[in-house]
Structure 1
């Protein structure tokens, strides 16, 4: 085999001259080759190719560089998408094709004669959507306008996002878009400042920076649902730092102050009526009502306030706390009703203490509301189910309370079972009496009672009128009672009122509605002080009672739902 060490150097000793030249040549050749990489030896079939150590690190180095380049590119993309893009969104450019041409106005053109969502162009040429409400329109607007404006506004925003290349413009760090600013919307105040909308001729000072106005609407007969929305709106306003206002000018139930202590007014002034809009939620001045619920408390609201990694009752904690904030601030009965409720609660507490120290309430809704449970969806839940649940609740709380463990079963049999219902005949129903035995059922309050037709006929009989000597009998309307419970149509017809006309209500109709409302609130006030409550969450009253009792009542099992095994939610959805 050939020795590799002798392949790069040759020395000759023939004579001194040649030797010197050879020496210099050899040194030069040696130096040149010392600083250059030797050529690889020819491959031998019997030897493996020489391994060079430094080449092993090259793939790792290349992968590291590639990874850094990918990360750098992603960082640049994120910066452009989520930092630079909000600036670019303010300059959407020439927007809205022929389909939206009819909804675009300049400040110099005539605005529509009724409230609507439209597209305006500011002085920079940027097109955005806003809401135009004529200055001579009174507040609040009919509910149909709020629905129409939000529906039209959604269509305009979607078109702008598509035309401006902003489809799916959610921020990656947000789990919800509820509080995100709508960059396609130009607030009414800003639209007036840039000349896109005309300014009001009447100057208003000390206007609130941000506000929420809750409207008690005329077409909503559900007192319980109204309370839930009112409390939730108040809690949300406080969460967002908005000043809160209440408008009851067209409420079907009359004036708010006839039931509750008036709400404390903010130190700032409510904005002009044409500045208060139903959407988007990022607007400075919002109006909230039953008509705007799909936009104010719709899917984005649920995603923002429900627990993202929680299910069932636990996912409702934040929403519950918002409603609880409103309840604690606003539910204060006024006048003699507050005194009566306090005395009634004290009376039941004394009765419970003499028997077993526990007080259980029951709320049964009938009328035009039917349960969620499929088997009884067109009917009502069996009364036996309420009674059995009340008895089980009483026994379970007996075991949980150290103060009542030594009481005898006979003591619990004398425990008061407090009942509130929209059906005045239910207390005498044999099915309920037998199912609840030996518990004694008592009415939550006796100050104001809903009467049946039979009761009214006894106290105020209606007799036909006949003129002396005449064969004709004048027809008189029969008494109408609350048989079967609360029906919206019956409520709106009280006192001869016309459906949908709440501006010119007869005094008799308003007085009757007020009595019904006060009776309802007294029932609520008394039941909410119970140690436990049994009800069906298909009823808004049931869901409101849970809020009034507090979160601990839910997690400790002192709030019992007997309808469809659902956990509590403010809107009764799963």
Structure 2
């Protein structure tokens, strides 16, 4: 009987008879095929010299690696040298890149090139040949800058700053405003006086340039807004900011629709230096030596970066705006001084009201109602007005809060100031204030309705005797419904479009400017009496006057709840936002 035969798979026959350590060069074709087949279908033995030598890549020789590295470094060096030489030649020629695909001539201050006709932000070269940006204002341009030019310069400056910052190691962040603070200096900016000195431009009015203030802030009362209250808020805030930063403060009223600043207030305290030349007063950036602030520059001067610096975002409510309130209060205390005649009347009226309050042992509660073309923040009434009952209920509650007695005497009426002359005769108002009466804050100067004007100065068409010709006389026009910007612009035959480009007040006749001044004086007398005679005030913060009254009452009064906002439950803020 035969022994059993050990059967094997034919695929492994050659593998079993070949040695991995064999040095025989005449390996059969079947053996090589078997090796290749195993390499594909089965893992190779670990540490097999034959398989390692076949699968391992040949290393790059050291000489070849060194040659490749030298070639790469040579190419980089040639490109860098070419870039440096081209940049140097372009600077010598006064040419710079304005966009990656276009060329533009460099600074208009250079050599014999013509100056730009319009105010604009431009690129210049500093003393080291480094590109900077500055503001160019023609010497014969009227001051102050018109609103559209001021905004255009600030927009252009942002573009130039971003462009220069991306190429400079001084400021690698593209938008410095997002990560920088309010007082982070713009390293890409060159002041106008330094740019003129480098360019060799002739200095005009050299005598007046002596003893120029080292730094200043000029606030321009312009034609952008007819709101007297907004103008006061911006004026006081600008003054407080200038005082905090150690800048000299100046006011320009060339284009103010209400006339001259000194028609309403006492002149500013004198400074020990003279204002800078108009061509050096620029709207941007904030670190400029001589800064121009107006309603047109609010997004840049009092925008998001200002809020990050002065608003305490980690707090809520009134405490959030404490630093801004302090700046405004400084402006109010130093600037709100009426001319002698009106100041005397306001003081006498205030003293009389306070005397009546002492006799009644009650608090004086003031109410301000803004109608006209201004509507509340509250969404439900955003196209209408707040109900008068809301004002009356808040006034009664405030009097109970201010008076020690639980049952306040109804003998002392509420003080009311409003831009709507017909509101005082409203039955709804009297009913909302019941059981208290309502009296006007002052009656020296008031806005009049058409009915009142018709009683005092009726108009009739003039018919020529023995003639069919009739001369038409315009009807009286009053302030029915309150203050409307369009109606104010129309005084003197102007309109919003023409007023936006007013160069000075000679565009309007003297009677027209007197009428506008009367409107402003009526507003200021209401404001002065209501803000100083009242122990508590009820108003809507959507009105700038309401926020002004909060500043006049003082921080403690607002913090103690004696300034009550009936619009959307918002705390006090200088711009009315939450």
Q: TM-score range by the shorter chain?
A: 0.7 to 0.9
Deviations 1:189-232 (A, max 9, x none): 11122227654363410000000011111332110000000000
Structure 1 unmatched runs, 5+: 1-90, 399-403
Structure 2 residue 484 is the aligned partner of structure 1 residue 477: no
Equivalent in the alignment of 1:209: 214
Residues 476-535 of structure 1 deviation map (CA, whole Å, 9 limit, x = unaligned): 211100000001111121244455154321111111111111110111111112110000
Change (3 A) 1:201 1:361: closer
Q: What is the aligned partner in structure 1 of residue 31 from structure 2?
A: none
User: Which position in structure 2 is the counterpart of 1:139?
Assistant: 143
Q: Matches of residues 462-473 of structure 1 in structure 2 within 5 Å?
A: 462-473=459-470
Q: How many Å separate the matches in 1 of 2:576 and 2:277?
A: 35
Matched, 1:350 2:347: no
Q: Does 2:577 correspond to 1:573?
A: yes
Which of 505, 523, 536 pairs up with 1:520? 523
Distance 1:335 1:171 in 2: 48
Q: Which residue of 1 aligns with 2:490?
A: 493
Written as runs of structure 1 = structure 2, the 5 A alignment for 1:233-382 is 233-382=238-387
Partner of 1:435: 432
Q: Give the match's secondary structure for 1:415.
A: coil
- Correspondence 1:154-193 to 2 at 5 A: 154-164=158-168, 166-168=171-173, 176-193=180-197
CA–CA distance in 2 between the matches of 1:571 and 1:527? 21
Q: Which residue pairs with 1:85 in the alignment?
A: none
- Distance of 1:490 and 1:246 partners within structure 2: 26
Check conservation: 1:170, 1:177, Cα contact below 8 A.
Answer: no
The aligned residue for residue 419 of structure 1 is 416
Post-superposition offset of 1:152: 0.7
Segments of 5+ residues of structure 2 without an aligned counterpart are 1-90
Q: Alignment partner of 2:332: what SS?
A: helix
CA deviation after TM superposition for structure 1 residue 249, in Å:
1.8
Instruction: Name the TM-score, length of structure 2 as normaliser.
Output: 0.79
Distance 2:319 2:351 in 1: 33
Which of 449, 452, 459 in structure 1 is aligned with 2:449?
452
In the aligned structure 1, how far is the partner of 2:383 from the partner of 2:103? 45
Q: How many residues align?
A: 474
Q: Does the residue aligned with 2:338 lie in a helix, a strand or coil?
A: coil
In the alignment, is the contact (CA less than 8 A) between 1:243 and 1:266 conserved in 2?
yes
On the 8 A contact 1:496/1:506 being kept in 2, the answer is no
Sort the Cα spacing of 1:478 and 1:282 in 2 relative to 1 into closer, same or farther, 3 A: same
CA deviation string 1:152-191 (max 9, x = no partner): 111111111223364427899x985211110111110111
**Alpha-carbon distance, 1:412 to partner:** 2.1
CA distance in 1, matches of 2:137, 2:216: 17
Q: Is residue 106–residue 121 contact of structure 1 (8 Å, CA) maintained in 2?
A: no
Q: Deviations over 1:120-151 (max 9, x none)?
A: 12342211111000111121121111011111
**Match 1:507 to one of 507, 510, 522:** 510
Which stretch shows the higher mean deviation, 274-283 or 350-359? 350-359
- Indicate the SS of the match to 2:421: coil
Query: What is aligned with 1:219?
Result: 224
Q: CA deviation at 1:312?
A: 2.1
Distance in 2, matches of 1:497 and 1:378, equals 27
What is the Cα deviation at residue 322 of structure 1? 0.2
Supply the RMSD in Å over aligned alpha carbons.
Answer: 2.1
Q: Distance in 1 between matches of 2:201 and 2:125?
A: 10
Distance (whole Å) between structure 2 residues aligned to residue 176 and residue 380 of structure 1? 41
| Distance (Å, rounded) in 2 between the aligned partners of 1:483 and 1:125 | 63
Contact 2:362–2:409 (8 Å) recurs in 1: no
Q: How has the CA–CA distance of structure 1 residues 100 and 449 changed in structure 2, closer, same or farther, with 3 Å as cutoff?
A: farther
3-state SS, counterpart of residue 412 of structure 1: coil
Residues 224, 296 of structure 2: 8 Å contact kept:
no
In the alignment, the residues of structure 2 paired with residue 186 and residue 100 of structure 1 have an alpha-carbon distance, to the nearest angstrom, of: 22
CA 100–233 in structure 1, closer or farther in 2 if over 3 Å, else same: farther
Q: Which residue of 2 aligns with 1:101?
A: 104
Distance 2:433 2:509 in 1: 42
**Do the aligned partners of 1:95 and 1:163 also contact (CA within 8 Å) in 2?**
no
Instruction: Give yes or no for contact 2:109–2:196 (8 Å, CA) kept in 1.
Output: no
Post-superposition shift, 1:100? 6.6
Contact 1:121 1:196 in 2 (8 A): no
Q: 1:469, CA displacement in angstroms? A: 2.3
